[in-house]
Amino acid sequence: MKFKKSYFFCSERLLSNVEEVNEIFSCIESIQWNPEFEIDFNGSSYQHQTAYNKAFDIEFSKNNWDAQPKLYDNPRLIGDFQKNDIFVEIQFGNSASIYRDYYKFHFGLTNNLLSLAVLIVPTNPKEFFPTRHASVSNMAEYDLAYRYFKLLPIPVPILLLGLLPEN
């Protein structure tokens, strides 16, 4: 699928040669958007948000990314993927999850556990999941994350990726 991107406290030019960033782009591009996205894997069938999470899991594992990396035990801070010092969160949850993700990013940066945080969210959840309007009405989304990351005074290098409902 296609995506758009924004950089906070880092630059596109700087990251253009970072292998892990290019792998992230490749993982996203290898997943086909579909308004009724479904995936079958190891005898189980997944739909919608769960299907996209499974598809990302499959794609990131092909590139040897660590799944469910733990930044800290108490409070429990776990991400979706990490490779070297690049930490990835894929967020299809409630919009408040963006703040928890930002906290993880800040914690990881200040404790030298990451040097770049990547947040992947839909650009417009109602268009991305057109048959799921009720369940996506307060979903984390690109414009909200963009506005808040722009305002937050703590400089954390973040690559914000917005999933587009198109291939």
Angle between helices 142-151 and 97-110 (to 10 degrees): 50
The pLDDT value given to residue 135: 73
Provide the CATH number for the domain around residue 75.
3.40.91.20
Which amino acid, residue 140? A
Which residue segment(s) compose the domain that 52 sits in? 3-163
User: Residue 155's pLDDT is what?
Assistant: 87
pLDDT averaged over every residue in the chain: 94
Can you tell me the distance from the alpha carbon of 66 to that of 45, in angstroms, rounded to the nearest whole number?
Answer: 23
Give kind and range of the element (H or E) at residue 45. strand 44-47
- Give residue 137's pLDDT: 81
User: Could you read off the pLDDT of 130-167 as tens digits, one per residue?
Assistant: 887 777 788 999 999 999 999 887 889 999 999 999 99
Mean pLDDT of the region 53-64: 97
Number of domains in the chain: 1
pLDDT band at 119; cut points 50, 70, 90: very high
The three-class DSSP label of residue 142 is helix
pLDDT tens digit string along 7-28? 999 999 999 999 999 999 999 9
